[in-house]
């Protein structure tokens, strides 16, 4: 089983669908036949209900997704037209019924807030034994809880970090030696990175070693290794 920890969001247009990194990776992995469960929070509202129904229909489990009666499910819409240099590093601008916010789901002051205790509870409930993916949009306490729970459960750990994280701050502390750390793109790539991570996690969950799993994911998604300059 693959467990993915991260923020969830809903995109109502142009085609209604789950949004955000965690959803993208989960859908990609489920599309390859893997059993997938999410650990997250959504609002106790219509978008949250639509999000969970869409995930379920796509084969993604949400037994460990908590419903927040106070904070609304983040709603994502395409960012306003702008040149690449003018756009926010996040590929989407978050909008709420009362207005818009500049950050993505994890940065929204109004959206559901995943906490370390939520992760601990979810991991205990799911008792995973395969792969744990932690997306780059979670708070530090959630990352720490996920790393600890993953090590305790003996799962393969895949940690996504923002590109700036590799240069300005260290990779999350306490990672096991066999953990995979991938730098997520800072701009919208049409879901290519999500597909790569999902395919990689599915291959790992199927028993492949990390090198073989990554090679298979690259081939399946069309990614190519950069040529050294």
Could you state, in order of their start, the residue ranges of all structural domains in the chain? 2-219
Structure confidence at residue 154 (pLDDT): 83
Structure confidence at residue 87 (pLDDT): 39
Q: Name the more confident of 165 and 188.
A: 188
Residue with tokens 């959504």: 42
Distance between CA atoms of 40 and 83, rounded to whole angstroms? 33
Max Cα distance, the chain (Å): 52
- Which range of 74-78, 185-189, 199-203 scores highest in mean pLDDT? It is 199-203
Q: Which is nearest to 148 in space by CA: 134, 162, 136?
A: 134
For residue 94, pLDDT over 50 is answered with no
Structure confidence at residue 105 (pLDDT): 45
- Do 112 and 42 contact (CB within 8 A), yes or no? yes
Structure confidence at residue 45 (pLDDT): 95
Q: Name the more confident of 77 and 124.
A: 124
- Do 182 and 157 contact (CB within 8 A), yes or no? no
Q: Which CATH class is domain 2-219?
A: alpha beta
Q: Which is nearest to 4 in space by CA: 28, 18, 23, 32?
A: 23
Q: How far is CA 134 from CA 25, 98, 138, 219, in A?
A: 10, 30, 8, 23
- Do 79 and 88 contact (CB within 8 A), yes or no? yes
Mean pLDDT of 3-26: 93
Mean pLDDT of 5-27: 93
Q: Which is nearest to 158 in space by CA: 133, 184, 124?
A: 133
Distance between CA atoms of 60 and 126, rounded to whole angstroms? 13
Name the band, by pLDDT with cuts 50, 70 and 90, for residue 170: low
Whether the link from the prior residue into 14 is cis, omega within 30° of 0, is: yes
Name the band, by pLDDT with cuts 50, 70 and 90, for residue 78: low
Mean pLDDT of 30-56: 95
For residue 59, pLDDT over 90 is answered with yes
pTM of this structure: 0.82
Q: Which is nearest to 5 in space by CA: 148, 101, 185?
A: 148
126 φ, ψ (degrees, to nearest 5): -80, -30
């Amino acid at each position: 089983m693959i467990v993915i920890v991260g923020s969830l969001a809903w995109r109502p247009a142009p085609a209604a669908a789950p949004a955000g990194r965690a959803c993208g990776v989960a859908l990609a992995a489920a599309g390859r036949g893997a059993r997938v469960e999410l650990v997250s929070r959504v609002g106790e509202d219509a978008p949250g209900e639509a999000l969970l129904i869409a995930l379920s229909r796509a084969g993604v489990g949400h037994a460990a997704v908590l419903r927040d009666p106070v904070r609304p499910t983040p709603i994502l819409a395409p960012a306003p037209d702008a040149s690449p240099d003018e756009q926010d590093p996040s590929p989407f601008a978050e909008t709420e019924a009362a207005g818009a916010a500049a950050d993505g789901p994890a940065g929204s002051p109004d959206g559901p807030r995943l906490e370390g205790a939520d992760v601990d509870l979810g991991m205990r409930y799911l008792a995973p034994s395969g792969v744990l993916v932690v997306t780059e949009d979670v708070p530090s306490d959630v990352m720490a809880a996920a790393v600890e729970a993953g090590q305790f459960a003996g799962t393969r750990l895949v940690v996504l970090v923002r590109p700036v994280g590799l240069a300005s701050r260290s990779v999350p502390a306490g990672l096991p030696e066999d953990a995979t750390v991938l730098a997520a793109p800072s701009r919208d790539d049409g879901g290519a990175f999500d597909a790569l991570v999902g395919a990689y996690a599915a291959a790992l969950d199927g028993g492949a070693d990390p090198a073989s799993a990554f090679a298979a994911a690259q081939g399946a998604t069309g990614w190519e290794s950069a040529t050294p300059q």
